[in-house]
Structure 1
Amino acid sequence: MGCCFSRSAGPNSPYPGGVPDASSRAINPPPLSLPEGIISSNPQAAALSHHRRRRDPRPLDQHINRPLRRHQWTSTQRVWTRRDLVKERAEFFDTRVVCRPEIWQTLHAALQVLWESNPEDSQDEDNALATAQTILTAAEISLPTGNLVNGAYDALGNLYALPEWVVADPENLADDRDPDAKGDTSTAGEETAGEDDDVDSEEAERRREEKGKGVLDEREMVTLRARLSETGRDIKVNVAKTDSVRTVIKRITELSSLPSDKKIRLAYMGKMLKENSSLEAQGWHVGHVINALVFNR
């Protein structure tokens, strides 16, 4: 009889019928589920319980990525002019010190394509969005909503926040001569002179190419490797360091046998290259790959 009374009656006993006592309750904590009464009366508890029951089955490396779309907005805080936007956008990207600098450069390059396009021209708008999307995709930049104002993420999950005035022009953009605008007008003449110089140099370069006066020294020739965004194929061309980007694009187009409805723009280190300037003047180094972005005319 003594052996029967010595049997354990706790919840961890190998014998059935045990009743949990105070000691067992202290040792064995209750389950994580919440009582139904608390869940029904507390919305936060209900949300927590729902979150515990359901988990996102997608891998962590699969980020939500929507197609790029144009952002539209109207300024209510200040009067923006074109000069203000150009100046403050340059300052914005020059002062980015967090996250990865190459991603900021890529975002800048994609935005430059959008800034230079004409939203009222549907074909030009479609081409600009396609080109900007190609730039972002090549750098593995994802857009959870498709709108850059809502943030962009790199492949490591870093967030890149962009204000509205950086992403797009306001619909109520003021004229630079508007007396109500607070922009700095001291550099207006300098900017206009710079644009005139670009046009003059572009025209001069075109005339030299047409007349065949550009005599190249073989000692200045280097091999450039351009990677086509459409196929990922590398095109090797022999160019001079002083050749304009326009000349390089022409040779790449000829060697790649692209259809007539396609055109190429070159990008290097996340920055779109100016066609009227040389590769060397824009920081290109011999041996580095140039990105050849292919899109419709």
Structure 2
Amino acid sequence: MGCCYSRNDDDSFGHEGSDENHVPRGGNKPFTKKGMTWTSESPVTIFNLKQQRDAFWDTAPSYEGRLEIWQALRCACESEDLVLSQAIIDSANVTIPTGNLADGCYDELGNKYVIPLYCIVEPTNLIDYNAEGSSEREDLDSKLLDEELTESEHIITIRLSSNAKDVKLNYNPKLDTIATLRAKLCTNQNLEIKKYHVRFFLLGRIFEDKTRLCDVSLENEQILQAFISEKF
């Protein structure tokens, strides 16, 4: 079983790998970013960091592993809410023996996924835009990043079967899947994801977990139906 890890030849970001011989394969610990640090070979801007992260996430699925798992891991890493990140990981049935994705994690089929530190936490020498003397290039990077993040955020309306209540959630159509949407909904409604089934419908069609939200036709403010039931 190979290691699901991708690295570009022009990757100038240094990161420390883990010795797989000392990483336990059994058990499952909560996802954490605590204590993780790394330093780039040279100071980088947040825009440069995002480009490097995008390069990894775009190429990693072509080597090994399942696309929907890579998508879930990306959403978990990019979320600033650890509760939501854990819900996404649980929804994808991913186990993390050490709690550190850089050490590796496994899907329910036994495929291994290793996430580089630069996709999990920012470097210690990230360039601070608020510092005096920032260059025009850095200001441009910041502006481009802000514009990209703004364009990627959308709002979806979900109608709950339990009480007919409408809930609005932010989502990224390029990254989020039905599985990550379920995790976001459960987090929003304080539902323990392992105890509930959540299925999404639109115009009579039920969606699979791996379906990307960009492939769901959400036009004219259509409402996505969520059927929620307890697991027995």
* TM-score band, normalised by shorter chain: 0.5 to 0.7
Greater C-alpha radius of gyration: 1
- CA, structure 1 residues 270+87, in 2 after alignment: closer, same or farther (shift >3 Å)? farther
Q: Which of the residues 65, 69, 90 maps onto 1:103?
A: 69
- CA, structure 1 residues 63+285, in 2 after alignment: closer, same or farther (shift >3 Å)? farther
- Is the helix fraction higher in 1 or 2? 1
> Matches of 2:226 and 2:100 in 1, distance apart?
24
In structure 2, the partner of 1:161 is 114
Aligned positions of 1:78-227 closer than 5 A: 78-96=42-60, 97=62, 98-113=64-79, 117=80, 128-176=81-129, 188-195=142-149
Deviations 1:256-293 (A, max 9, x none): 669xxx9966652455699xxxx99822158xx9889x
In structure 2, the partner of 1:255 is 163
The residue identity in structure 1 corresponding to 2:214 is: Q
Aligned positions of 1:19-58 closer than 5 A: none
- CA, structure 1 residues 141+92, in 2 after alignment: closer, same or farther (shift >3 Å)? same
Given that 2:94 and 2:105 are in contact with CA atoms closer than 8 Å, whether structure 1 keeps it comes out as: yes
Unaligned runs of 5+ in 2: 1-24, 185-201, 203-211, 219-223, 228-232
Q: Which is further off, 142-151 or 165-174?
A: 165-174
- CA, structure 1 residues 155+291, in 2 after alignment: closer, same or farther (shift >3 Å)? farther
Given that 1:149 and 1:163 are in contact with CA atoms closer than 8 Å, whether structure 2 keeps it comes out as: yes
Deviations 1:58-77 (A, max 9, x none): xxxx9411111114203153
> Matches of 1:88 and 1:101 in 2, distance apart?
19
Q: Which is further off, 263-272 or 75-84?
A: 263-272
- CA, structure 1 residues 281+105, in 2 after alignment: closer, same or farther (shift >3 Å)? closer
Structure ranking higher on relative contact order (CA contacts 8 Å, 6+ apart): 2
CA RMSD of aligned residues (A): 4.4
> Matches of 2:138 and 2:181 in 1, distance apart?
27
**Please, what TM-score do these two structures have when normalized by structure 1?**
0.43
> Matches of 1:170 and 1:193 in 2, distance apart?
22
Identity level (%): 25
The residue identity in structure 2 corresponding to 1:284 is: V
The residue identity in structure 2 corresponding to 1:191 is: L
> Matches of 1:281 and 1:76 in 2, distance apart?
34
Deviations 1:16-65 (A, max 9, x none): xxxxxxxxxxxxxxxxxxxxxxxxxxxxxxxxxxxxxxxxxxxxxx9411
- CA, structure 1 residues 94+159, in 2 after alignment: closer, same or farther (shift >3 Å)? same
Unaligned runs of 5+ in 1: 1-61, 118-127, 203-243, 293-297
> Matches of 1:153 and 1:135 in 2, distance apart?
14
- CA, structure 1 residues 253+86, in 2 after alignment: closer, same or farther (shift >3 Å)? farther
> Matches of 2:165 and 2:150 in 1, distance apart?
34
The residue identity in structure 2 corresponding to 1:69 is: T
The residue identity in structure 2 corresponding to 1:159 is: K
